[in-house]
Amino acid sequence: MENIKTPVLRVENLAISYKMRKGEVSAVRDVSFEI
């Protein structure tokens, strides 16, 4: 018997950046995960 569980949360290609006075800062780029 297989015990396959479906993820509760799936995130694909997450990108987070912050606008600063001197330009944009990339905090996270192209991150994917499942929980």
Looking at residue 2, its pLDDT comes to 77
Cα distance from N-terminal residue to C-terminal residue, the chain: 22
pLDDT score at 1: 62
- Report which of 10, 12, 6, 13 is spatially closest to residue 29, judged by C-alpha positions: 13
Q: Which helix (H) or strand (E) holds 31?
A: strand 23-34
pTM > 0.75? no
CB 5 within 8 A of CB 34: no
pLDDT at res. 4? 84
**Sign of the C-alpha dihedral, residues 4, 15, 31, 28?**
negative
Digit-by-digit pLDDT tens for the chain (35 residues) are: 678 889 999 999 999 999 999 999 999 999 999 99
